[in-house]
Structures are given as C-alpha cells and as structure tokens.
Amino acid sequence: MLLPVFVATIDYTRVYRLAVECRLFATLVDIVSPEILMLLVAIAAIAGMIDAIAGGGGLLALPALLWAGVPPVQALATNKLQGTFGTLTSSYHFVRKGEIDLRRLRIPIVMTFIGSVAGTLSVQRLGSDLLEQVVPSLLIAFALYFLFSPRIGDQDAHHRVSHGVFGLLIGFSVGFYDGFFGPGTGSFFAAAFVLLLGYNLRRATAGTKVLNFTSNIASLIFFAFAGEVIWQIGLPMGMAQVAGAWVGSHLVIRHGTKLIRPLLVIVSLAISISLLIGD
C-alpha cells in the first residue's frame, strides 16, 4: 500500500534533471585526462605565485581550463574555486606577518562581498561588451601609473579617504566588477589602495589579496549553489594554488616594490592585450 503512495510523490522532473547533470558531470571528468589534470595543477601553482605578487593569475588558469575542454560557465566557476585557495593562502600569510590590519578593512570586506554578489547576479542578465572595450584602456593607464608614479614605493603616504569611504566607493564597485567581468581586479584594487589610502605597494598587495579573496568566495558560493563548479578539477588546482601563493607572498614581503612594480605593469599590459586580441 505504501509503495504506490511513495511513487506518486516522486518529482520525476527533478530526478531527470539530476540525471542529466550527473551525466554531464561524468562527461566533463572524462574529458580531462590524468595528464591534462596534472598540467592544470602545474599551471595553477604558477598562477598562484603570480597572483600573490601582482594579481592576474586567472589570466593563466582560466584559458587553461577552457583549453582542457571545460565549458565556459563551468570554467569560470572552477576558476573561482581554485583562485579562492590561492587568495586565502596569501591573505593569511600577509595577515600573520602584520602587513594588513583586518579590523580596518571590515567595511571594505563587507562591501566587496555585497558588490561581488551583485555583479555575479547581474552578469546573468546584462552583457559585458562595454567593459570589454573600456577595461584594456584603464589597465594600460594603471600600468603607466605603476611604472612612472613617484607615489609608488615602500613607504606609506597620506590617505585621502577613510577606510569606510574606501569600502563604499572601491570595495563595492570593484567587487561588482569582479563578479560581473573580472580581468584586472587585482590591478584596480592595488591602484586604489595606493591612490586613496596611501598604502605602500607591499601593503597594497596584501590588502588586495584580502579583498580578492572576499570577491572570489562570494562568486564561488553563487556558482556552487548553481551546481557549476567541477570540484574534481578545482580542488587539485586549489591545492597547487596554495603552494604557489605561499611562495609568492613570501617573495612580496622579502622584495617589496622592486618585485611588485614590474610585475603589476606586465600583468596589467598582458590582460589588456589578451582582451584586445579577444575582441
């Protein structure tokens, strides 16, 4: 008597959808052979080191995921997963070494999280064509600023706004941008820390990683609930990101501006060129 009642209560549409998702997931895992997965892990380690120093690690990791045959949405989601490991590692190291005070970044962290969620939701409804045209010019301008500005150094300068205003202006807007589009987020954050808060380049890099982690985890939560993350690929890449970010954050503390400045210029120009070529 109970069996017909049980059968009648089954949501067959949901069962079918889950079956399709499982079949798609199995297909994606089959596409990435052990050899390709090892290559993705190696790329993630390099990306983690570069990202900890100057940002732009996704410039390596995301194209690698697409090259491996991962569909664009799943590639974006999986890239957020592996990138979250790297930004968390470098953030932890910078905080532990006293390079950044999390208490002063409370409002920027909250506003970055909110902005990233808003951007992640908005990109589903709006196109990003305008950003693809504008962002390369902005990144080239930032590259020139990092290269020639006398304000860029190992000494802090006078801040122009409070951390609260910084959170409202920069945390939300750049967080929104990261959730909506993404390339060059680290350069935008770093420039804002230097220009508005007067941070030296080492502290600016530390603050950038904290806010990068915040925007990454916000987008990752959204993608995870949507079932877009390929955990079997993202987790091994994430472990490699941990190793790369650990090395990169140590290099930042040891070498400071003389290492960060040229890499920020190179990364900003590389992202600009990749976006322009993509057009």
| Amino acid in the structure at residue 182 | G
Inform me whether the pLDDT recorded for 239 exceeds 90. Answer: yes
Lowest mean pLDDT among 21-30, 209-218, 233-242: 21-30
Q: What is the C-alpha separation between 214 and 181, in angstroms, rounded?
A: 16
User: What pLDDT score does 120 carry?
Assistant: 83
For the chain, the structural domain boundaries read 32-278
In the chain, % helix, strand, coil (3-state, to 5) comes to: 80, 0, 20
Residues 6+ apart with CB under 8 A from 263: 50, 53, 54
Question: If pLDDT is split at 50, 70 and 90, which confidence band does 13 have?
Answer: very low
Our CA dihedral for 269, 188, 248, 144, rounded to 10 degrees, sits at 40
Q: Give residue 21's pLDDT.
A: 46
> Residue 16: what pLDDT?
37
Digit-coded pLDDT (tens) for 31-41: 578 899 999 99
Handedness of CA 256, 257, 260, 262 (dihedral sign): negative
How far is it, in rounded angstroms, from Cα 115 to Cα 172? 4
Q: Tell which residue, 84, 120, 24, has the closest CA to residue 242.
A: 84
**In this structure, are residues 256 and 154 in contact, taking their beta carbons and an 8 Å threshold?**
yes
Residue 119 to residue 173: CA distance in whole angstroms: 9
Euclidean distance between CA atoms 253 and 94, whole angstroms: 8
Tell me the per-residue pLDDT of 53-101, one tens digit each, with 9 for 90 and over: 877 787 788 888 888 888 888 888 899 999 999 999 999 999 998 989 9
HSE, CB side, 13 Å, CA atoms: give it for residue 102. Answer: 12
